[in-house]
Amino acid sequence: MDVSAMSSARTKYQHICLLVILVILLSPCLLQPAAAQPPKKTVLFLNSYSPGMVFSDEEYRGLQDSLKPMGNEVDLRVEYMDCKRISDEEHLQNLYWLYKHKYSNVRVDVIVAADNFAFDFIRQYHDDLFPGVPVVFCGVNYFTGDMLADNRNMTGVVEDYDIRSTLNLAFEQFPDTKHVCVIHDETSTGMAMHRQVLDHIPEFLDRAEFIFLSNVTLDELLERIKDLPPDSVILLEAFNRDSAGNVYTYEEIGDLLAASTDVPMYSNGEMYLGHGIVGGKITAGYQQGVIAGDMVQQIIAGTPPSAIPVVEKSPNVYIFDHDKLRQYGISESSLPAGSTIVNKPVYIVDAWVLHLTITIIVGMCCLIGLLVYSIRIRRKAEAALRQNIAERKLAQEQQEESRNYLNSIINAVLDPIFVKNSRHEFVMVNDSLCDFIGRRREEIIGKSDHDLFPKSQADVFTEKDDMVLETGKENTNEEVITGSEGVLHTVSTKKRLYMDKTGERFIVGIVRDITERIAAEKALQESEEKFRVLAETSPVAIALYQGERHIYNNPAHVKLSGYSAQELLDMRFWDWIHPDYREIVRERGMSRQRGEGDTFGYEMKIVTRDGRERWIYLTAGPILYQGRPAGIATLVDITERKLAEETLIASLREKEVLLKEVHHRVKNNLQIVSSLLNLQSNALRDEKIRAVFQESQNRIRSMALIHEKLYRSDDLSRVDFSDYLRVLSTDLYRVYADPSKIRLSVDCEEILLSIDASISCGLIVTELLTNSFKHGFPGGREGQVTVSLRRTAGGYVTVTVSDDGVGMPAGFVVEDTSTLGLQLVTTLVEQLEGRLEIGSEGGTSFSITFKDRQ
């Protein structure tokens, strides 16, 4: 056999192998019998909101899963009403006309109305838009039977919150809870939730205190929950609009609350799962959608809606966040039966699944190896053919690459772009335009504006197109267009004429959405008007400055300065400031415009137009005015207050001088009395009487020493008692003690006492020290006397006088003593409302404990 014959045989063998493999692979498909396709049933899902709303997205997912067994028998269509963003009557009317136009020639078999906006809309316009079409509703709150009194062609499933079960769950998982913080907004939904919570509070009042946070801004809410006690839980209901009118998504609120507190949060809303809550008895959108789908199947099968009872008990389920269960140490075994856990980690597949997968992969590799072997042989035979067509393929690739490059450029532009022919039909659109109006490219190409938009809008677009075609001039117009979600947008459209080589004319247009810019400009205009009204009526002086000049001064500012409004505008903002403060005002004002200064206030002086000096309190901060840095300042006249402060300071100084003089004179008078007693005692011959005079002199000296300290102190109401005790003890030691026999130790903390307490306590120490020096060491006995001053717990002061002398006689009771000195001690202790403790072990110890009442 020659070489060519062998090659031909080998090629035939390869073709047979490939044919066998294809037969094996395609045999399951070939065995499937052909079946006639029944006509599809059209199901319209009317969504109250927009994509991204968790609850309504889950309702749609549940509906899809429920209808999966019907396969291709159902054509499921979706309309988003976007009523979370806008729900006024004009919007609903626009939706009415949109659906009127869109479904005028479309047969709809069943309508699913998701949530209250869609339910209310379809009840109002059902007979006009979709006469006779059965309706299934789901996710409807606050349902009553009379809502379907005139609509026997409707049934559905009600959404109801099981707050009681969620509260019981929170108390079971956190039994030490003493505070329940309920968060909701002031919308109709939020207040309805408020009323439902109030219905259940009596059942839990003996377990916890309920706190409601509703009419607050977001910042205030976050600050309030930071201060919640650790034995608290949060019941998070609907909070989408704060007291300032700002709107937030469920996810944003959940994440912000979770970031601001460690307190566990519970909710009945599915939308908060994965965004901070532990869990709860959840009203699940998915279950609502599944039940609605079951009802749709019954209706398609021929059951009338009136025969399908409304499911009024909401199919709520326990759902928990795996991450939060771990954070708070809650075991899965403790959860209610049938609970669902989200965010649970995905584990490795079972071993048998892995083995089956490996077996399939090995089989496929063998099959691929056989195919590769055959392809390699075939490639050698086709090499010559590829060489012949290489140039043609290269040209096609270059052409395709050029086309793809142009499409990439156009589709990369974020603004919608279109090209129309002279018959107003779209011949080219980019991805941005398709996304903007919510249609596929196939639905747009070859259609005119009247096929895609309401007539009122399409007429305007066509008129502007004709202007470009007739004049050949470019024009730019602001127009209103219906976007992908049925929402009206204000756009700026630039159109230009293009003519190809054949002379055919085209309109090239680019669209820019300026809805937000228009709204921002309107909001800015309103804000500026509010500021102007506030500033014009404010009694506080307000000034705006930019660069070095005033740009606005309210009437209060004009009145304060004495200058006219025009004179102030012609001046630099620091020109009317007092010379002592001009430089600091200039520097701070300029630095704020550079973004270097913070908002703060300070006192300064100004010079009015008539030359008078006035004290003011100035508060200033940076702002943006017409896109450029500027500053705003408020000025309050505090001249009268400053004058009053100066008068008060002068009066206080005069009183201080007077009090010092009084203490000085009292001290001098006491010293005179002491000197008189000393002179009188020198004329006495009886030693006992002289001793009495001596003791009286010591008592007077202790009081005089108090006034001496006050005279020399800056504090005229309190005495440095530690220093006073050192001086008093040393004076008495010099009078009565023999330094060669008796030692004195003074150990005092730094303590300030009132005048009355100092005088009483000084007299007590005088008596006790005199007694120790005179009677504690008879017969020339040696020893030590100790004086201590300590501050003890509870704000008490303890003064102790002790010695290691002979001690007190046996059976000594201080209340029974007849000596004047100890009687004086007990009387003064009572005046101090103190406590006297006497110790006789190893000598004598007197401790007086009292609290300074002043």
CATH number where 129 lies: 3.40.50.2300
Higher pLDDT pick, 676 / 322 = 322
Which phi and psi angles does 808 have, rounded to 5°?
-85, 155
Going by the DSSP 8-state scheme, the letter that residue 130 receives in this structure is S
Q: Determine how many CB atoms are found less than 10 A away from the CB of residue 622.
A: 18
Let me know if residue 220 belongs to a domain.
yes
Let me know if residue 739 belongs to a domain.
yes
- Contact predicate 761/728, CB 8 Å: no
What percent helix, strand, coil does the chain show, rounded to 5? 50, 20, 25
Which phi and psi angles does 358 have, rounded to 5°?
-65, -40
- Contact predicate 184/237, CB 8 Å: yes
CA 290 to chain CA centroid, Å, is 35
- Contact predicate 754/760, CB 8 Å: no
The pTM for the full model equals 0.38
**Res. 506 pLDDT band, cuts 50 70 90:** very high
Looking at the fold, whether 604 and 525 belong to one and the same domain comes out as yes
- Contact predicate 214/185, CB 8 Å: yes
Residues 184 and 165: their CA atoms lie apart, in Å, by 18
Percent above pLDDT 90 for the chain: 33
Write down the pLDDT at residue 128.
92
- Contact predicate 249/219, CB 8 Å: no
Least trusted range by pLDDT, from 390-399, 480-489, 736-745: 390-399
Q: Which whole number is the average pLDDT over 582-589? A: 89
Looking at the fold, whether 473 and 536 belong to one and the same domain comes out as no
Residues 451 and 669: their CA atoms lie apart, in Å, by 113
Let me know if residue 171 belongs to a domain.
yes
Higher pLDDT pick, 393 / 552 = 552
Residue 462, helix vs strand vs coil: helix
Beta strands 600-607 and 613-625, pairing class: antiparallel
- Contact predicate 491/479, CB 8 Å: yes
- As to burial, measured by CB atoms within 10 angstroms (0-12 exposed, 13-18 middle, 19+ buried), residue 193 is buried
**Res. 675 pLDDT band, cuts 50 70 90:** low
Q: What is the pLDDT of residues 109-160, one digit of tens each?
A: 999 999 989 999 999 999 999 999 999 999 888 788 888 877 779 999 998 8
Could you tell me the two tokens for 598? 């913070």
Beta strands 505-513 and 541-546, pairing class: unpaired
Looking at the fold, whether 139 and 241 belong to one and the same domain comes out as no
Task: Return contacts of 22-30, CB within 8 angstroms, 24+ apart.
Answer: none
Residue 695, H or E segment:
helix 687-712
Least trusted range by pLDDT, from 77-81, 275-279, 455-459, 713-717: 713-717
Domain boundary among 244, 273, 302: 273
CA 313 to chain CA centroid, Å, is 35
| CA angle centred on 606, ends 604 and 609, rounded to 5° | 175
Residues 729 and 737: their CA atoms lie apart, in Å, by 11
- Contact predicate 280/166, CB 8 Å: yes
Looking at the fold, whether 142 and 185 belong to one and the same domain comes out as no
Q: Please give the torsion angle defined by the CA atoms of residues 592, 593, 595 and 596, in that order, rounded to the nearest 10 degrees.
A: -40
Higher pLDDT pick, 456 / 659 = 456
Let me know if residue 314 belongs to a domain.
no
Rounded alpha-carbon distances, angstroms, from residue 430 to 334, 408, 439:
55, 9, 11
Q: Is the pLDDT of residue 690 over 60?
A: yes
Residue 753, H or E segment:
strand 752-754
Looking at the fold, whether 147 and 235 belong to one and the same domain comes out as no
Residue 687: which domain range?
A: 638-716
Number of domains observed in the structure of the chain = 6
Q: Hunting for tokens 């004329």 — which residue is that?
A: 683
Domain boundary among 670, 695, 716: 716
**CATH number of the domain that 586 lies in?**
3.30.450.20
* AA identity, residue 826: T
Residues 746 and 733: their CA atoms lie apart, in Å, by 11
Q: Hunting for tokens 């006192």 — which residue is that?
A: 603
Q: Is the pLDDT of residue 709 over 90?
A: no
Residues 553 and 569: their CA atoms lie apart, in Å, by 8
CA 598 to chain CA centroid, Å, is 23
Write down the pLDDT at residue 134.
96
The residues near 315 (Cβ < 8 Å, ≥ 6 apart) are 157, 284, 287, 288, 291
Let me know if residue 71 belongs to a domain.
yes
* Residue 499 bridge partners (DSSP): 505
Q: Hunting for tokens 């430089």 — which residue is that?
A: 583
Write down the pLDDT at residue 22.
44
Looking at the fold, whether 633 and 646 belong to one and the same domain comes out as no
Could you tell me the two tokens for 637? 């006249």
Looking at the fold, whether 699 and 744 belong to one and the same domain comes out as no
Q: Is the pLDDT of residue 30 over 60?
A: no
- Contact predicate 721/746, CB 8 Å: no
Q: Determine how many CB atoms are found less than 10 A away from the CB of residue 407.
A: 13
Looking at the fold, whether 186 and 228 belong to one and the same domain comes out as yes
Percent above pLDDT 70 for the chain: 83
Q: Is the pLDDT of residue 69 over 80?
A: yes
Looking at the fold, whether 734 and 838 belong to one and the same domain comes out as yes
Domain boundary among 273, 308, 340: 273
Helices 163-173 + 188-204 axis angle, to 10: 50
Let me know if residue 142 belongs to a domain.
yes
Looking at the fold, whether 738 and 820 belong to one and the same domain comes out as yes
By C-alpha distance, which of 51, 65, 43 is closest to 290?
Answer: 65
The DSSP line for 588-612 is HHHHHHTT----EEEEEEEE-TTS-
Looking at the fold, whether 702 and 725 belong to one and the same domain comes out as no
Q: Is the pLDDT of residue 395 over 60?
A: yes
The residues near 479 (Cβ < 8 Å, ≥ 6 apart) are 457, 460, 461, 464, 490, 491, 492, 493
Residue 341, H or E segment:
strand 340-342
Looking at the fold, whether 478 and 532 belong to one and the same domain comes out as no
Rounded alpha-carbon distances, angstroms, from residue 295 to 132, 274, 307, 315:
17, 30, 11, 15
Residue 213, H or E segment:
strand 209-213
**Res. 325 pLDDT band, cuts 50 70 90:** very high
Upper half-sphere CA count for residue 571 (Cβ side, 13 Å) = 19
Q: Is the pLDDT of residue 100 over 70?
A: yes
Higher pLDDT pick, 252 / 30 = 252
- Contact predicate 108/42, CB 8 Å: yes
Let me know if residue 377 belongs to a domain.
no
Let me know if residue 33 belongs to a domain.
no
By C-alpha distance, which of 66, 60, 194, 172 is closest to 115?
Answer: 60
Residues 292 and 114: their CA atoms lie apart, in Å, by 9
Q: Please give the torsion angle defined by the CA atoms of residues 840, 845, 848 and 849, in that order, rounded to the nearest 10 degrees.
A: -80
| CA angle centred on 441, ends 437 and 444, rounded to 5° | 65
Q: Is the pLDDT of residue 767 over 90?
A: no
Could you tell me the two tokens for 713? 């102190």
Residues 626 and 833: their CA atoms lie apart, in Å, by 72
CA 410 to chain CA centroid, Å, is 41
